[in-house]
Amino acid sequence: GRKVLIVYAHQEPKSLNGSLKRVAVEELSKQGCSVTVSDLYAMQFEPRATRNDIVDCLHNSEEFNYGVETWEAYKRGGLSNDLVEEQKKVQEADLLIFQFPLYWFSMPAIMKGWMDRVLVQGFAHEFPNCYDSGLLKNKLALFSFTTGGTEEMYAKGGISGDIRYVLWPMQHGIMHFCGAKVLAPHICFAPEYVSEEKRKEMLIAWAQRLKTLWKEEPINCSPEWYFE
């Protein structure tokens, strides 16, 4: 069976994000997938990239460079346990799903911290091995999130601009950079401003999509596609 890692960032299990995560676990498990969830708030995941991420001696104790130090620590097995655990989950997964509410046109800080700390050089990318030759090139990635604004606000010509502008740093700058093939995002627009019925429909739509997810083709991650 296929393996899925859901990296989940919401404080409340009863939220729509919590329900979307639960639906994904149920539906993918039904398909025979092995599903692991990294519930970042429940884990009290540390989002700050600090020298505590290196548990043995520093490569250069005179001047601290986080990128260099984590790269060197990864090579010699000197990263902190929480990072090693998350990297193991990523390594084993065929599909990474990121489930979160959009904060200020981006992911919550705790999830960005996961990206900053887990996707170190040597593990997820190693120049020139990035983008199509990134080290996660055999994996699929999908961003599933809720917004505060409506679909009209995030349309081309809408006040918030095309939602693809918001997705560019996440889909292209992180996941595609690390080699993952990116599936179309799953967006639940403005759930706080719709009826209970409409929220139920959002969950049903997500469950339906998951049934045929493995047949989907990745999106085009070129700048032309995002900024056409």
Separation between Cα atoms, residue 204 and residue 133, nearest integer Å: 36
Amino acid at 118: V
Separation between Cα atoms, residue 116 and residue 49, nearest integer Å: 7
Instruction: Pull the structure tokens for residue 64.
Output: 């601290």
pLDDT number for residue 227: 87
Alpha helices, H only, the chain: 16-30, 40-43, 66-76, 81-92, 109-118, 163-167, 196-211, 223-227
CA dihedral sign, ordered 88, 91, 93, 95: positive
State the 10-residue block means of pLDDT for the chain, 228 residues long: 97 97 98 98 98 96 97 97 98 98 98 98 95 96 97 95 96 98 98 95 98 98 89
pLDDT digits (tens, 9 = 90+) for 180-209: 999 999 999 999 999 999 999 999 999 999
pLDDT number for residue 228: 77
Q: CA 146, 149, 152: angle at the middle one, nearest 5?
A: 110
Report all structural domains of the chain as residue ranges with CATH numbers, in order of start. Answer: 3-227 (3.40.50.360)
Q: Are 114 and 45 in contact (CB under 8 A)?
A: yes
The helix (run of H) or strand (run of E) holding residue 144 is: strand 140-146
Separation between Cα atoms, residue 205 and residue 44, nearest integer Å: 30
Separation between Cα atoms, residue 202 and residue 186, nearest integer Å: 10
